[in-house]
Amino acid sequence: MTALVDARPASPADALVCRNCGARYPLGAQHACFECFGPLEIGYDPVALASVTRADIEAGPHSIWRYSGLLPVGQSTDTRVDSGTGMTPLIRADRLADELGFSAPIWIKDDSANPTHSFKDRVVSVAITAARELGFERIACASTGNLANSVAAHATRIGMPYIVFVPSDLEPAKIVQTAIYDGTLVGIEGNYDDVNRLCSELSETDEFEKTGFVNVNVRPYYAEGSKTLGFEVAEQLGWRLPPQVVAPMASGSMLTKIHKAFKELRAAGLVAEAECRVFGAQSAGCSPIATAYEQGWDVVQPVRPTGIAKSLNIGNPADGPYALDVVRSTGGAMAAVSDDEIRAGIRLLARTTGVFAETAGGVTVAVLKKLIESGRIDPSAETVVYNTGDGLKTLDAVAEGARPTAVIKPTIKGMRDVGLL
Ligand SMILES: *Cc1c(COP(=O)(O)O)cnc(C)c1O
Ligand SMILES: [Zn+2]
């Protein structure tokens, strides 16, 4: 055997670990445990994690890749897919805090500022980098909309062929934002759970052997991208954890990885020991995880999704039980809000902070309000609220009632006639 000299920095990841039974597997394109069929996640060498310093991170690029020492792939710039994702603004929202009766600061982590205008650029950057390193030749995904936008853009950038699958009844902006690129977009007559099931079946076929489905066979890598939402908030707060965070849930993956990021930062000694209570937000049209929370269940009963928060419409959420664990073990809570409350949440955030969120952001802000009113979140503890997508993606949800104050002739009289002078 010839020993190859590998000059690339080593990955701190050392195994795939079953989240149910703890079985360990070599790193690769595997997503379920052979022993118990449980989902796998990336395990790290604690020594490697502990060797990462704040100075290393601060000297890195102004993107999620500054955290490459805490991610499974992308240590080398020749495989890394870097579209400038991450380091999105953390906005102090004093007028929102005042209106909600918060005495501590509320911060909006505004992930609409990513290249394709949603948080999905984080998971896609890591998943496509992993797909390249694992030798896949094509990229695919099952999407509720934002993931399709991001996969299409990132695959296009590196010239990798792709095929993405979405429910055919998505918001027009999300269809256009994917179809504008040259790859293959398949609309499925069904909901996300139907799309996801089809993708699982396709990933087992010979024709798809060289295709990496970012959220199916590459899912353990994909999910790690969400950790950067936790890393950035800690760094932006001056290397400390916020006492409370509120995050939207579709499959529940993102919420669990924000928590994993905080754990890893503590373990690596990059932040002081501190607890962070994690709160989860869903829409009433699709609230299987929040319902299980309210009912005190450990299992999540699948539902048939409805309602305007389409990016969160996953009726059978893969990470639901893990999201329940995180929220319960940290002393957080979950809640669900109606479509009218979501619209009001979008307006409340816009009118107090200038941030225009998509429906998922409306869900999160409306849930924050509900948690305050029900006394389940502490208004004297600093809180980070994740806005995960841009309002331009879901204009129809609020277009009615968002019109010019007046339309007039270009004259002084015109202004007088409508009472603006
Ligand atoms: C995908 C998505 C989420 C979170 O999804 P999870 O499946 O829970 O990780 C949140 N907000 C938006 C806008 C999304 O597109
Ligand atoms: Zn297992």
Structural contact between residues 264 and 229, judged by C-beta atoms closer than 8 angstroms: no
| Span 48-57, average pLDDT | 96
Mean pLDDT score across all residues of the chain: 96
Atom of ligand 1 nearest to the CA of 145: 15
Q: What is the pLDDT of residue 7?
A: 52
Ligand nearest to the CA of 35: 2
Ligand nearest to the CA of 16: 2
Ligand 1: which of 111, 116, 120 to mutate, judged by most atoms within 8 Å of the beta carbon?
120
Ligand nearest to the CA of 17: 2
pLDDT confidence bin for 112, thresholds 50/70/90 = very high
Asked whether residue 384 carries a pLDDT value surpassing 90, the answer given is yes
Domains 13-82+120-222 and 90-117+226-401 share a fold: yes
Ligand 1: which of 193, 311, 313, 386 to mutate, judged by most atoms within 8 Å of the beta carbon?
311
Q: What is the pLDDT of residue 9?
A: 75
| Span 4-8, average pLDDT | 52
pLDDT confidence bin for 18, thresholds 50/70/90 = very high
Ligand nearest to the CA of 18: 2
CATH number of 13-82+120-222: 3.40.50.1100
Asked whether residue 3 carries a pLDDT value surpassing 70, the answer given is no
Kindly report, residue by residue over 172-221, the tens digit of the pLDDT: 999 999 999 999 999 999 999 999 999 999 999 999 999 999 999 999 99
- Please tell me whether residue 38 adopts helix, strand or coil conformation: coil
Q: Using CA positions, which residue lies closest to atom 11 of ligand 1?
A: 388
Atom of ligand 1 nearest to the CA of 359: 13
Short-list 163, 224, 157, 155, CA closest to 195: 163
| Span 112-141, average pLDDT | 97
Asked whether residue 265 carries a pLDDT value surpassing 60, the answer given is yes
pLDDT confidence bin for 356, thresholds 50/70/90 = very high
Atom of ligand 1 nearest to the CA of 247: 10
- Please tell me whether residue 12 adopts helix, strand or coil conformation: coil
Cα of 365 from ligand 2 centre, angstroms: 36
CA 73, 79, 85, 86 dihedral sign is: positive
| Span 370-381, average pLDDT | 98
Partners of 337 in the beta sheet?
Answer: 283
Q: Where are the domains of the chain?
A: 13-82+120-222, 90-117+226-401
**Other beta carbons within 10 Å of 373:** 12
Kindly report, residue by residue over 277-301, the tens digit of the pLDDT: 999 999 999 999 999 999 999 999 9
pLDDT confidence bin for 123, thresholds 50/70/90 = very high
| Span 117-124, average pLDDT | 98
Kindly report, residue by residue over 212-256, the tens digit of the pLDDT: 999 999 999 999 999 999 999 999 999 999 999 999 999 999 999
Atom of ligand 1 nearest to the CA of 253: 9
Cα of 40 from ligand 2 centre, angstroms: 8
Ligand nearest to the CA of 359: 1
Asked whether residue 4 carries a pLDDT value surpassing 70, the answer given is no
Cα of 319 from ligand 2 centre, angstroms: 15
Asked whether residue 363 carries a pLDDT value surpassing 50, the answer given is yes
pLDDT confidence bin for 401, thresholds 50/70/90 = confident
Dist. CA 362–CA 359, nearest whole Å: 5
**pTM of structure:** 0.96
Asked whether residue 162 carries a pLDDT value surpassing 60, the answer given is yes
> What is 90-117+226-401's CATH number, 1.10.10.10, 2.60.40.420, 3.30.420.40, 3.40.50.1100?
3.40.50.1100
Asked whether residue 304 carries a pLDDT value surpassing 50, the answer given is yes
- Ligand 1 neighbours, Cβ below 6 Å, are 118-120, 146, 248-254, 311, 358, 360, 388-389
Structural contact between residues 281 and 363, judged by C-beta atoms closer than 8 angstroms: yes
Atom of ligand 1 nearest to the CA of 389: 13
Q: What is the pLDDT of residue 1?
A: 41
Ligand 1: which of 123, 166, 363, 388 to mutate, judged by most atoms within 8 Å of the beta carbon?
388
Ligand 1: which of 109, 249, 312, 364 to mutate, judged by most atoms within 8 Å of the beta carbon?
312
Dist. CA 168–CA 4, nearest whole Å: 48
Short-list 345, 347, 333, CA closest to 378: 333
Cα of 229 from ligand 1 centre, angstroms: 12
Kindly report, residue by residue over 71-106, the tens digit of the pLDDT: 999 999 999 999 999 999 999 999 999 999 999 999
